[in-house]
């Protein structure tokens, strides 16, 4: 994408009390392909940003209602992190330094030099774009300073450098996927692939083919040869999520890989050697599954060389404010949401919830509050409404949405999310529970960008 093509997707907010300056900047920026919004004062600008953040701001310092430095400070305190380019007709070094300290990207004196403004704006927007891309693609962090999280980090640091298999156990939504990624990143295989397989999401008749591959014509529908996940992970790590859901036949084949490093594709005449580290995870009690005859004892001991337990949220409630802050900043950057603040009442109310879905439930609730709460600050009443703890207040939150279409879409999205959490993200089970074909549920999940992630653990 060329700079001109990129600018066509870039919105710049011009804040100046002089209409002639605003009009002049509008003409210059629109000629370069930017979309331009205007505000004649600080309060109008903050209201505009609360509605829909922009990609950059040109902000005059000297304004009667609220000066530019106060506007900049208010923007940063509310979490708006887009670049701000300051303009002054009475500039001095002290003002420029103060603006920079408060987070300004650049500082211009009037009369403005057109080329300098455009060059700085292009650089600012590009820097902001790259920063957002890094945040959206960066791995989630192990957020928290509680004793439970510190212990978890210590175990990961000891386990990662070794070649041993790791078995991660913990309740649904506690961050098992996140721990697996951390073990891989800190291991000697970090440069190799990390391949994830959700054993619960793959139909029983396809899981062997998915894990070990198949030859062309080995079964109906096998129109071409396919390498399995173990082969794809060669030289790296394979993460078997929900390993307790594997059939006895698949368990036997996984045990063979662990014993001698060989996989046997469906329909193949000979096995293939692979060099793969195995990390497995489950929310089931595998020793209970062994007692019931549903899981192989020998496989359990092969997987459970280094056991890692992810603590539930109720064991680390002191981390809740840090987790909320992390999810707010991440969603604000990834989705262009206003970075709302949570007051003490909101945090206190969050601390009273049972958190059966743990960190994943908290992540989803924070996103829900960012979408549904009407103001720049989330309070106790907002939490009560969106969490369902306030009687009929949840419909009131939905009623704040501007159109029937938004109401219908958000209600459907929240319903699907709730049912997936209720069924521990088993798509087949959820589809049966809500009486819809599994293919339709997958389409809805894709439409609403609902993904099974264990963020923030």
pLDDT in tens, 144-166: 989 999 999 999 999 999 999 99
pLDDT at 74: 84
Residue 212 has pLDDT above 80, yes or no: yes
> Are 232 and 280 contained in the same domain?
yes
Closest CA to 112 of 11, 12, 25: 25
Q: What is the pLDDT of residues 75-106, one digit of tens each?
A: 876 767 889 999 988 766 778 788 888 888 88
Domain span at 280? 147-311
456 within some domain: no
Q: Which residue has the higher pLDDT, 17 or 226?
A: 17
> Are 131 and 180 contained in the same domain?
no
Q: Which residue has the higher pLDDT, 301 or 436?
A: 301
Return all residues near 156 (Cβ < 8 A) that are at least 6 apart.
142, 179, 182, 183, 186, 308
* Relative orientation angle of helices 114-137 and 19-31, to the nearest 10 degrees: 70
Q: What is the CATH number of the domain that holds 56?
A: 3.40.50.2300
In angstroms, what is the C-alpha Rg of the chain?
26
> Are 319 and 438 contained in the same domain?
yes
> Are 257 and 362 contained in the same domain?
no
pLDDT at 156: 95
> Are 232 and 376 contained in the same domain?
no
Helices (H) and strands (E) in the chain, counts: 21, 16
* Domain boundary residue, one of 137, 166, 186: 137
Cβ neighbourhood burial of 260 (10 Å; 0-12, 13-18, 19+): exposed
Beta-bridged to residue 167, according to DSSP, are 280, 307
pLDDT at 262: 87
Q: What are phi and psi of 281, to 5 degrees?
A: -145, 150
Residue 333 has pLDDT above 90, yes or no: no
> Are 95 and 161 contained in the same domain?
no
- Average pLDDT of the chain to the nearest whole number: 84
452 within some domain: no
Closest CA to 99 of 71, 120, 119, 66: 71
pLDDT at 176: 94
Query: What percent of the chain has pLDDT above 90?
Result: 40
* Domain boundary residue, one of 291, 311, 331: 311
Tell me, what DSSP letter sits at residue 66?
S
137 membership: H or E segment, kind and range: helix 114-137
43 within some domain: yes
Tell me, what DSSP letter sits at residue 227?
E
Between 26-35, 41-50, 114-123, the lowest mean confidence (pLDDT) is in 41-50
423 membership: H or E segment, kind and range: none
Residue 317 has pLDDT above 80, yes or no: yes
413 within some domain: yes
Number of domains composing the chain: 3
Q: Which residue has the higher pLDDT, 371 or 114?
A: 114
* Domain boundary residue, one of 270, 287, 311: 311
Residue 211 exposure: Cα atoms within 13 Å on the Cβ side? 33
> Are 307 and 327 contained in the same domain?
no
Range with top average pLDDT, 124-133, 248-257, 367-376 = 248-257
Three-state SS at 32: coil
Contact 30, 22 (CB under 8 A): no
Q: Which residue has the higher pLDDT, 391 or 346?
A: 346
Q: Which residue has the higher pLDDT, 358 or 446?
A: 358
pLDDT at 283: 92
> Are 375 and 436 contained in the same domain?
yes
Q: What is the CATH number of the domain that holds 437?
A: 1.10.8.60
Task: Please tell me whether the overall predicted TM-score, pTM, comes out greater than 0.85 for this model.
Answer: no
> Are 167 and 181 contained in the same domain?
yes
pLDDT at 29: 94
Rounded CA separation 330/373 (Å)? 17
* Relative orientation angle of helices 344-351 and 320-335, to the nearest 10 degrees: 110
pLDDT at 2: 47
Three-state SS at 333: helix
> Are 362 and 401 contained in the same domain?
yes
123 within some domain: yes
142 within some domain: no
Q: How would you classify the pairing of strands 35-39 and 272-273?
A: unpaired
Rounded CA separation 281/23 (Å)? 59
pLDDT at 364: 86
Contact 297, 153 (CB under 8 A): no
């Amino acid at each position: 994408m060329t700079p001109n093509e990129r600018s066509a997707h870039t919105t710049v907010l011009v804040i100046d009390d002089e209409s002639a300056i605003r009009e002049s900047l509008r003409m210059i920026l629109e000629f370069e392909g930017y979309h331009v919004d205007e505000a004649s004062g600080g309060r109008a600008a903050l209201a505009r940003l609360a509605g829909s953040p922009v990609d950059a701001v040109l902000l005059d310092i000297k304004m009667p209602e609220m000066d530019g430095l106060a506007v900049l400070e208010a923007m940063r305190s509310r979490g708006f992190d887009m670049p701000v380019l300051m303009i002054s007709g009475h500039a001095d070094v002290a003002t420029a330094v103060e603006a920079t300290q408060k987070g300004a990207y650049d500082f211009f004196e009037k009369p403005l030099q057109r080329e300098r403004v455009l060059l700085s704006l292009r650089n600012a927007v590009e820097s902001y774009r790259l920063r957002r891309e890094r945040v959206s693609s960066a791995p989630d962090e192990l957020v928290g300073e509680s004793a439970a999280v510190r212990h978890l980090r210590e175990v990961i640091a000891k386990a990662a450098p070794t070649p041993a298999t790791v078995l991660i156990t913990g309740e649904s939504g506690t961050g098992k996927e996140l721990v697996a990624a951390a073990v891989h990143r800190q291991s000697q295989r970090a440069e190799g692939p990390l391949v994830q397989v959700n054993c619960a999401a793959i139909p029983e008749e396809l899981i062997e083919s998915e894990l070990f591959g198949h030859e062309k014509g080995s079964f109906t529908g096998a129109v071409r040869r396919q390498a399995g996940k173990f082969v794809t992970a060669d030289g790296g790590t394979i993460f078997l999520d929900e390993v307790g859901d594997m059939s006895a036949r698949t368990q036997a084949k996984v045990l063979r890989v662990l014993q001698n490093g060989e996989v046997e594709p469906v329909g193949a005449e000979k096995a293939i050697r692979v060099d793969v580290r195995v990390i497995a995870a489950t929310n089931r009690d595998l020793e209970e599954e062994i007692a019931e005859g549903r899981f192989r004892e020998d496989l359990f001991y092969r997987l459970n060389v280094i056991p890692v337990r992810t603590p539930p949220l109720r064991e680390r409630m002191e981390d809740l404010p840090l987790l909320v802050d992390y999810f707010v900043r991440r969603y604000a950057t990834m989705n262009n949401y206003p970075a709302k603040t949570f007051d003490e009442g909101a945090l206190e109310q969050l601390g009273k919830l049972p958190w059966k879905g743990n960190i994943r439930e908290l992540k989803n609730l924070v996103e829900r509050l960012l979408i549904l709460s009407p103001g720049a600050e989330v309070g106790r009443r907002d939490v009560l409404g969106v969490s369902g703890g306030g009687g009929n207040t949840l419909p009131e939150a939905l009623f704040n949405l501007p159109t029937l279409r938004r109401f219908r879409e958000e209600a459907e999205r929240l319903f699907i999310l709730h049912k997936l959490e209720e069924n521990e993200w088993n798509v087949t089970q959820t589809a049966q529970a809500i009486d819809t074909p599994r293919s339709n549920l997958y389409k809805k999940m894709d439409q609403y960008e609902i993904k099974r992630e264990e963020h923030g653990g």
